[in-house]
Chain A
Amino acid sequence: MTAQTLAVNLDPLAKPFFKRVQIALIPIAILFAFAFPFLFSNPAITSIAMFTMIYLGATSAWNLFSGFSGYMALGHAVFYGTGAYAFANITEHFHLNGNIWLFALVPVCGLAAGLIAAPIGWLALRTRRHVFVVITIAIFFIFQLLAYNLTGITNGSAGLQVPSPTWGAATYNDYFYVAALVVALFAIFLSYSIRRSRFGLELLAIRDDEDRARGLGVKTTKVKLITFMISGSVTGMCGAIYAYYLGSVYPPFAFEAIFDVTIALMAFLGGLGTVLGPVLGALIIEPSQQYLNLKFTNGGYALIMFGLVFLVIIRFLPEGVLPSLANLWRKKLKSREKEGSK
């Protein structure tokens, strides 16, 4: 028996049938995602779709670090804000016009956020668990304060203006949607490749027992820091698109505490430390939040709903939706196999 057939026999969900279904579903999902603005051209809907993609990218990026390594970072808004301010500063400095080519700046802004992540990670990753969480929150507040006070870069509470897009109002959201979708797909692709690599395995090993991983020769500091920077970088790209979309950057929007909690909640809901869990989480939470905001105009309702959803998940699906479903399915398939063999 070869290794591959054995691996397949032992895990019912690894059977060729399921693999084929998965492989077929991916291009369909991607095609649908790109066709979405053509299918639903209502700006109210495309705006929700755009925000969903921004959060999808951000939560995938967050999960890439926190979900895989087990280090719960609650300060990723730092990178989101850095991306937004980088975008505003670059466009202002070079007097750029708001055309479609400005999206080429998104990776540059991501790079800026990644560079900011280096010293933060170097500092914060010396600590573990609860201390790490507290430090990331503290760093977030430091950045929020800096945004108000480093007026040379941020223009303080007066904020910075970003060039307005030159395309028409009817398709205004669509370009942002596609840009956010590309970043989101990039984030998912990164998650997937890292999860499948030795590097990703080392991250998961750190999550389970860091000292043991170190004792087995895993270069824990390096692995954690690189991932933290990648994660911050992708989050920064999302922030840049957000800034372009809003047309201006103000400290409370760029460095928003709710952002930190939201992306974590999305990953928790879908399945922390899985590739597709955060995707599902973002697809569920962001549209419903946007919808509630539209419906009640008062953001408070959405927050209350968030809290309730969080409690329900922790109580009934502590692993998140996807892993719980996969386990249920596995059990069912196994029991069916047993009956079949009787």
Chain B
Amino acid sequence: MKNILEVSHINKAFGGLQALNDNSFAVRENSITGLIGPNGSGKTTMFNIITGYEQSDSGEVEYDGKNISGFEPGEVCTLGVGRTFQLTRVFGRLDLIENIQVGSSGVPKSKRKEMYSLDKCLELLEFVGLLKLAHEKAGNLSYGQRKLVELATILAQEPRLILLDEPAGGINPTLIQQMSDRIKELNRRGISFLVVEHNMEFVMDLCDEIAVMERGSVIAVGKPAEIRSNPRVLDAYLGGSDEDYAVEGKK
């Protein structure tokens, strides 16, 4: 199967800190790929580079066979890549319908009117289970509900690839289940996902493939089961040090 997103040899430094170090991985078309790793391993920076919010120092991002390195966020979105944020970003003083309508701004002109229509917005709200709150200001919603609004807003762009930054972070178990169901349903409809998440149960259940990052580098890629038993990954997560290896080696 071909890759919808291919990231190759990305480097990014903030001052003296090498946030991303020669990073390469791919998202296969119509898959849900997880991107996991301890805090500060560079996951969000990776997201920012893919979606144009930050520029990499070197390396290439290829989406659907097209080199999109250096594109503006708006251009990336118009190509069909949607993203959410770790700290949700909704338009607080607009109601949910209007929030979703803004999402249609990046749609190619021919489809813009359809995606802007009230029916379409209500359909999307129903899809994420927030139809009853259609006229509520997004700022009045709970954190978890805002994540769903963010998702619905992105869906108004008709994306082919969605990048989710901690979709299950800080929300209650019912909403986590709802989020997971929605993602799987969208995936069945042909949308590919790249998901950053700390909730392992959520990731392992959801993803077809997982890439693990540590200190700016991808250290492992594989199926959830393989990742679960990969010693380097366990080490990165459980915080084993070189000393432990040394002790083990003696035994």
Contact = CB atoms under 8 A, between A and B. Distances in A.
Interface stretch (B8-16, B100-108, B176-184, B224-232): B100-108
A211 B112 CA distance: 21
A201 B74 contact: no
A10 B132 contact: yes
B157 A216 contact: yes
Interface in B48-99: 51-53, 72-74, 77-78, 83, 85, 89-94, 97-98
A302 to B, nearest CB: 32
B69 to A, nearest CB: 17
Contacts of A208: 90-94
Interface in A208-229: 208-209, 211-219
B160 to A, nearest CB: 15
A6 B134 contact: yes
B105 A216 contact: yes
A198 interface: yes
A215 B101 contact: no
A201 B191 CA distance: 27
B98 to A, nearest CB: 6
Contacts of A215: 51-53, 73-74, 77, 83
Nearest to B93: A208
A216 B89 CA distance: 11
Tell me what chain A mostly uses at the interface: helix, strand, loop, or mixed.
helix
A223 B103 CA distance: 15
Interface stretch (B22-30, B114-122, B167-175, B209-217): B114-122
Nearest to A198: B116
Given A198-B105, A217-B157, A209 B91 contact: yes
A208 B98 CA distance: 12
A329 to B, nearest CB: 15
Given A216-B103, A216-B157, A6 B122 contact: yes
B101 A198 contact: yes
A202 to B, nearest CB: 6
B118 A4 contact: yes
B91 A212 contact: yes
Interface in A221-251: none
Contacts of B97: 7
A337 interface: no
A257 interface: no
Interface in B172-227: none
8 contacts: A7-B122, A205-B105, A207-B93, A209-B90, A215-B52, A215-B53, A216-B77, A218-B105
Interface of A: 3-4, 6-7, 10-11, 14, 198, 201-202, 204-205, 207-209, 211-219, 273
Interface of B: 51-53, 72-74, 77-78, 83, 85, 89-94, 97-98, 101-107, 112, 116, 118-119, 122, 131-132, 134-135, 153, 157
